[in-house]
Structure 1
Amino acid sequence: MRSEQIYPDVRTFESIVTGTKEEQGYWVRLEQSYFYPESGGQPADRGTLNGVSVLDVQLQEGDVWHLLDSPLLENEVQGEVDDVIRTDHAAQHTAQHVISAILQDEFQIKTVSFRTGTEESTLDLDLGDWDETLQSRLEERLRTVIQANLLITATEYTEEEALQLPLRKTPQVTEKIRVVQIGELDYSACGGTHLASTSELELILFTGLEKVRGNIRLAYVAKDRAFRLLTTERRVLTETARAVSAKKNQVHLVVEDLKQEQVRLNRQIGQAEDLHVKTVLKQLLATDEPVLTVRHDQEDVRFSEKLLKALAETGRTGFVWNENAKKLFMCSAGSIHLGKFAKTHLKQFNGRGGGSENNAQAVFQTYEEAQAYAEALKEELHT
């Protein structure tokens, strides 16, 4: 086993540089290191060597290499492992062992993969569907396991000895095998860092789920991450309840009412826009101009799109500029293919966009550039 596996509580140590290299940064190898290198879905430790920040730690052909943000000036080094990050990673990894063990033993659900993220960790489960009943039962079992204060140990066995244990998966290594045991709940061949007992997990919260390649991806946080999440969500809930003048347990009902009200108002706005489009269109069609041009300085882009669509349905040629979106909408029933014209000429006017034969749209940096493009297109249409 490596030093950080044998002595997981060491946070400061002295060592000697035995190798250096430059590969997208400054890397050093030490005679002895207590930094955990990235592996098995668990991120590497962070910390310092002689006060220089350790940005990454990788295991290459049995050697532990440390990525630094600047070169070391001495061969003798004082190393310091960031205890907050080590404990956090150990908590998320320990939670994975516990969750996976319960799911497999009690619900016959296997874990496909695991990853510790910077904000939340994820488990990919060999499962097609997830429901609230399953989650409630899992959460209840997790509470009992945390309260049981199960001892967590890591022991190195020979391959023959390890295979006599009720391992959750067949080890991928041979000869010496490190087995992490959580009471009688779980025996797993694992090289990662872990807490000393399940009670140190304190709390595990599930934060989301999604379907990924036919599996269920379950997101969670443990220990300090879980308490920080609770604090943040409680503050948000308190502020939301105050904003909508409701009790905290009634906020979801008020939000649902507001959503329905928004749907109703959007419907009314849409109807009002449709009436306004008809009025504006009538005024435009009363002119004899060959190209109907409209400039919208304050209107929502949706209204500009509706007006252009109405113009197109009349068979007239029209340009609608929307200042807020810096976008020019165009329609024409003439002989010019608007999409092809856009592809050929937009770049010279600092525009980008495209379209079909009778409809196109383009974004410009300024109205003046859009106007110049429109004049060029008008000239082509007239020709």
Structure 2
Amino acid sequence: MRQHSGQHILSAAIDHLFSYKTVSFHLGKEICTIDIETTNLSEDEALQAEKLANSIIQENQPIEAKWVTENELENYSLRKELSVLDNIRLVIIPDFDYNGCGGTHPKATGEVSAVKILHWEKQKKNIRVYFVCGNRVIQQLHEKHKVIQSLTTILSAPQEKLEETANRVLQNTKELEKIIDDLKMKFLDHEANQLINGAKEFNNQKLVKVIFTNRSMAELQQLGKTIAANTDNIIALLLNEQNNKIQLVCSRSKDVNINMNNVIKQVLPLINGKGGGSDSVAQGGGERTISPEELMNELCKEISGNE
């Protein structure tokens, strides 16, 4: 009853102030919503509507339920059109809201206690407003205050400086992540050079073939591209075993006339895998139906066959 009456009051407040009509509403188990007929709701508008709604509640105005006939409707300024013309029941807050409704309501606005708008978002061509009434306002305050108190401890900052401190922490984190990414790239470049130096001769070409454990696909791809870009006449076959899965990256330098996409497509069925790429670099993955060593041998056979 409190949530439903709070919805009437909030919808009427928004209508009074801005003429934004409520096109639908939902009384949720914890949070209620109304969809209002506008494409934008500003912070100031939301605060004004909430202030007016709470003033109506604090005035403890009567809430009346009244049965009327179709002919009597001309005596009331209805907030929205009625969906029925027989057995018409109006819920009335005198001089504020006249609305057709069959739901239950308390006898006065004061029983709603309070209305609090939580947030809003776009919903198709409308704005969906999330709000709570009555004891749920206190519950929301309790939950949010608990989070704030936790953050003040974690961030070692008072409530009024939480946003500033959080933004500073996020900025520092971004800078550290960039440093880590740069170091990873340098490490991968160094690793690629070591693999190039250790490449073996294979059918008049240099061949890098490595089986890793628990490496990311992104690292495999970067290694494959770096190896192919930093030397001539070279092929890289990189496999990774992780959680009973096998991933693979196959790359070659520009002067090698082998289509790596075709090579990888020939071996992926052996591991029930999927993947693909370009003629110079391709990648994929699948199940560990055969050992990584067996899969590497099959890749080498495919390369020999594509000479």
Alignment partner, residue 69 of structure 1 = none
Instruction: Provide the C-alpha distance between the structure 2 equivalents of 1:376 and 1:142, rounded to a whole number of angstroms.
Output: 73
- What letter matches 1:288 in structure 2? K
Alignment partner, residue 303 of structure 2 = 381
- What letter matches 2:265 in structure 1? F
Shift of 1:220: 1.5
Shift of the 371–177 alpha-carbon distance from structure 1 to 2, 3 Å rule, reads farther
Matched, 1:356 2:277: yes
- What letter matches 1:234 in structure 2? H
Q: Rg: which structure is higher? A: 2
Task: Tell me if structure 2 keeps the 8 A contact 1:301–1:322.
Answer: no
Written as runs of structure 1 = structure 2, the 5 A alignment for 1:1-383 is 90-286=1-197, 287-288=199-200, 292-297=208-213, 302-311=218-227, 313=229, 316-321=235-240, 323=242, 328-333=247-252, 334-337=258-261, 341=265, 346=268, 349-351=271-273, 353-358=274-279, 359-364=281-286, 366=288, 373=295, 375-383=297-305
- What letter matches 2:219 in structure 1? F
1:334-359 CA-to-partner distances (Å, cap 9, x unmatched) read 325359827xx6566254x4233345
Shift of 1:301: 5.4
Shift of the 267–336 alpha-carbon distance from structure 1 to 2, 3 Å rule, reads closer
Shift of 1:379: 3.2
1:10-43 CA-to-partner distances (Å, cap 9, x unmatched) read xxxxxxxxxxxxxxxxxxxxxxxxxxxxxxxxxx
Instruction: Provide the C-alpha distance between the structure 2 equivalents of 1:201 and 1:325, rounded to a whole number of angstroms.
Output: 58
Task: Tell me if structure 2 keeps the 8 A contact 1:312–1:331.
Answer: no
Percent identical across equivalent pairs?
A: 26
Dislocated runs of 4+, deviation >6 Å: none
RMSD: 3.0
Instruction: Provide the C-alpha distance between the structure 1 equivalents of 2:105 and 2:10, rounded to a whole number of angstroms.
Output: 14
Shift of the 355–238 alpha-carbon distance from structure 1 to 2, 3 Å rule, reads same
Instruction: Provide the C-alpha distance between the structure 2 equivalents of 1:297 and 1:255, rounded to a whole number of angstroms.
Output: 37
Shift of the 204–311 alpha-carbon distance from structure 1 to 2, 3 Å rule, reads farther
Instruction: Provide the C-alpha distance between the structure 2 equivalents of 1:249 and 1:340, rounded to a whole number of angstroms.
Output: 57
SS of the residue aligned with 2:75? coil
Instruction: Provide the C-alpha distance between the structure 2 equivalents of 1:243 and 1:307, rounded to a whole number of angstroms.
Output: 39
Task: Tell me if structure 1 keeps the 8 A contact 2:250–2:260.
Answer: no
Task: Tell me if structure 1 keeps the 8 A contact 2:14–2:49.
Answer: yes
Task: Tell me if structure 2 keeps the 8 A contact 1:145–1:198.
Answer: yes
1:131-179 CA-to-partner distances (Å, cap 9, x unmatched) read 2211222222122122111222222212222343111112111221111
Shift of 1:276: 0.6
1:219-272 CA-to-partner distances (Å, cap 9, x unmatched) read 122223222221111111111111222212222121111001001101100110
- Unpaired runs of 5+ residues, structure 2, are 253-257
Shift of 1:183: 3.2
Instruction: Provide the C-alpha distance between the structure 2 equivalents of 1:208 and 1:339, rounded to a whole number of angstroms.
Output: 54
Alignment partner, residue 14 of structure 1 = none
Shift of the 249–370 alpha-carbon distance from structure 1 to 2, 3 Å rule, reads farther
Instruction: Provide the C-alpha distance between the structure 1 equivalents of 2:284 and 2:53, rounded to a whole number of angstroms.
Output: 56
Higher relative contact order (CA 8 A, sep 6+): 2
- What letter matches 1:217 in structure 2? R
SS of the residue aligned with 2:51? helix
Instruction: Provide the C-alpha distance between the structure 2 equivalents of 1:346 and 1:117, rounded to a whole number of angstroms.
Output: 50
SS of the residue aligned with 2:200? coil
SS of the residue aligned with 1:109? coil
TM-score (norm 1): 0.67
Instruction: Provide the C-alpha distance between the structure 2 equivalents of 1:367 and 1:285, rounded to a whole number of angstroms.
Output: 30
Equivalenced residues, count: 291
- Unpaired runs of 5+ residues, structure 1, are 1-89
Task: Tell me if structure 2 keeps the 8 A contact 1:308–1:320.
Answer: no
Instruction: Provide the C-alpha distance between the structure 1 equivalents of 2:29 and 2:292, rounded to a whole number of angstroms.
Output: 45
Larger CA deviation: 179-188 vs 196-205: 196-205
SS of the residue aligned with 1:167? coil
TM-score (norm 2): 0.81
- What letter matches 2:200 in structure 1? D
Task: Tell me if structure 1 keeps the 8 A contact 2:244–2:288.
Answer: no
SS of the residue aligned with 1:337? helix
